[in-house]
Structure 1
Amino acid sequence: MTFFTMFYRRKVPASTNENSHENLSNATILSREPTLVILLWTFPFGEQFPLNKCPQQFDVSDCFYTADRTQYTSAHAVVLHHRDVCTTKTQLPQAPRPSNQRWVWFNLESPSHCPNLAIMNDLINLTMSYRVDSDIFTPYGWIEKHNGPTNFTIPKKTKLVAWVVSNWNPNTRRVKYYEDLKNYLQVDIYGRQHLHLPRDEQLETLSTYKFYFAFENSIHVDYITEKFWYNALYSRCVPVVMGPPRENYERFIPRDAFIHVDDFSSPQELASYLLNLDKDEEKYKQYFNWRSEYYVPPKDNPWTVSYCRVCKALKEAPPYRTIASIEKWFK
């Protein structure tokens, strides 16, 4: 069984989350027993979002999330977002750690963009990242199974290829690949230094394209980001991916849902394939066959979804242990 078949979850009907603590005071919540107090040492990149408002599919009973550092001594876990605390150890909690308090290392960046990993040596008890082998798996996206057979309608396509890219670095593989590819194929590029695309118009605009270039900024195992899940799949385009090997993608999604650049000997060969596919409507439609059974759920606040996984992980946490080297594992 591939991983993606194990990861699917049935859609949960929307209703009020009876486990939510949003209407209770901190004092009331903390007086309940048992309660797992989960301290966010920092909001990731300073982006604040509501706490204790997890979607219903997350059982957060007996868990309380807080960003109040005065709760440090009573916290059962402290979540450390790497990019916010990696400059110096003084950014980490300085008070003595309470007995059996777990420190959770949280990171969604690839190893290529994670400085000072060694600063976490002998400090971390649980890992939380996009890597499948993390203690708390927090992917950028996933697919879920429909409750029953569903007829999917492909939106009207009037354009061929789109690519949204904010970090335009001529020395990266993806830009070098494009510089060759553009000699054979027209690509509409959005983002910094290119065409303007307001965030609130992104879904509508990208859905008019047949293909989307989901080119990752670095190549690492399981590093499959929102470029694939939301810019391409949720926008109902066929993804053309550059990232980990095809087999890695197929752990999460059927093989006929995307096109991988590594399947072609050159950018010219890829361009020829896409141009031919543009003329063959029936063959193009085959890339949407999987959608009769599965779908990409709407994009909630990614931080909320990630942190909501911590409660379940703490309830099922293995015996207390400390990871000697995050760097050795992650790289």
Structure 2
Amino acid sequence: MPKGPRAGSRNRHLKPHLVFLMIFLTISLIYSWLFVSNKQYHNVTAEYPNSGITILFWHWPYGIHYNLTGDVCLNDYGIPRCVLEDNRSLFENADLVVFHHTELRNQKVHLPVNLPRPASQRWVWLSLEAPPNIGNLKTYKNLFNLTMSYHPQADITVPYGKLIPKEKQIRDFIIPINKSHEACWVVSNYQKRQRRSAVFQELKKTLNVQVYGRFARKPLSKEALLPTISRCYFYLAFENTESPHYITEKLWKNAFQSGAVPVVLGPPRKDYEAVAHPKSFIHVDDFNSTKDLATYLRNLIKDPEKYNVYFTWRQNYRVKLYTDWRERVCNICPLYRQFPAQKIYEDLII
């Protein structure tokens, strides 16, 4: 009996220490768990810095492969949490899969309709061709969720180029003065049935037009293209297809970047004015005849002050070209949350 009270007293003295020890161990375990978890999180983040929207190129346009090493969208274009892949084994993990129409049309590539498709995955139909050149799209009914093209009504609009406002008005563009030709045209796909061919044939009766490209058997290298065009007062930015909003590199690169005033033939003037300054180009349709157009061009050459008006827009804008497929596709990510969840195209024609 005498030992009982002492034992009970000792137990009562130990209980606060046990409680403290248990609290200490619990806090230590929680801290350790948080530390390990945080370390694991940072390791995962370091290994997969872009864990966000994953876009899979099912195939590369025209078979030209691009390097996807590193955080391409963030490092090159400032777009975070956007992962580009071209490994088809990642199909089930992709948020979007991009299919370029040319390879589908030529049957060089086939849609993965035999694979189990995640319910939330969106298929993107990509084409920068004008509708008359696309062909039959009936086989793609009820397969694609999004369209990607130059057209402003596409879900993702990817123009051939655009004008970027300068931060301040700077006259950093020097009007080329080494002009030796009235006009020039670079053309390879020349077809007599095209309207542009008829306009050219009439124009050259009055105007001195230098022709380059496979049609003239005078091919130009990439390095020689812009310097050659820069020696011309005007560049014939004639599209091979007249279709709404179809404005290609013929305007953005060949004319604007060379320093020649573009004479355009393609969609209506309003479509050009939607993307370029109204005094940055001359539209064929503004004239009653090709002869009137030629007369106007020759008069401009004789009047430098009026000719130079077509360059004043460069004080406020610069030209941005889109040539890299990675950049085009990276631009999907900032729009991703805006896409409707249930959209599907029965008819792809815009």
- TM-score normalised according to structure 1 size: 0.86
Structure with greater helix share of residues: 2
Match of 1:172 among 152, 177, 194: 194
Cα separation, 2, equivalents of 1:278 and 1:285: 10
SS of the equivalent of 1:160 reads strand
Q: Where does the alignment leave 5 or more consecutive residues of structure 2 unmatched? A: 1-42
Residue equivalent to 2:34? none
Pairing partner for 1:78 from 68, 92, 97: 97
Partner residue, 1:223: 246
Aligned counterparts, 1:155-304, within 5 A = 155-156=176-177, 157-194=179-216, 195-297=218-320, 299=321, 301-304=323-326
1:309 to 331, 345, 349: 331
- Which 4+ runs in 1 deviate beyond 4 A? 24-27, 55-59, 87-90
CA contact under 8 A between 1:59 and 1:312: conserved in structure 2? no
Question: Given the alignment, which residue of 166, 170, 175 partners 1:154?
Answer: 175
Distance 2:45 2:50 in 1: 13
Q: Deviations over 1:37-85 (max 9, x none)?
A: 1100110010111235237684532221111000001111100101111
Structure 2 distance, partners of 1:132, 1:55, is 25
Query: Is 1:48–2:48 an aligned residue pair?
Result: no
Range moving further from structure 2, 313-322 or 268-277: 313-322
Q: Which residue of 2 aligns with 1:95?
A: 115
The answer to whether 1:67 aligns with 2:86 is: yes
Q: 1:60 to 1:175 in 2, by over 3 A?
A: same
Identity %: 39
Q: Is the 8 A contact 1:190 1:196 kept in 2?
A: yes
Counterparts of 2:169 and 2:76, CA distance in 1: 22
RMSD (CA atoms): 2.2
1:28 match: 47
Letter matched to residue 145 of structure 1: P
> Can you give the 5+ residue segments of structure 1 that lack an aligned partner in the other structure?
1-23
Name which of structure 1's ranges 156-165 and 270-279 shifts more when overlaid on structure 2.
156-165
What is the distance in 1 between the residues matched to 2:294 and 2:334? 45
Cα deviation for residue 196 of structure 1 reads 2.8
Asked if 2 retains the 8 angstrom alpha-carbon contact of 1:240 and 1:259, the reply is yes
SS at match of 2:325: helix
Q: Post-superposition shift, 1:223? A: 0.3
Give CA-to-partner distance per residue, 1:217-272, whole Å, 9 cap, x none. Answer: 00111100000100001111110000000011000111011000000111111111
Corresponding letter in the other structure for 2:58: W
SS at match of 1:286: helix
Q: How far does residue 88 in structure 1 lie from its aligned partner after superposition?
A: 5.2
Of structures 1 and 2, the one scoring higher in RCO (CA 8 A, sep 6+) is 1
1:138 to partner: Cα distance: 0.1
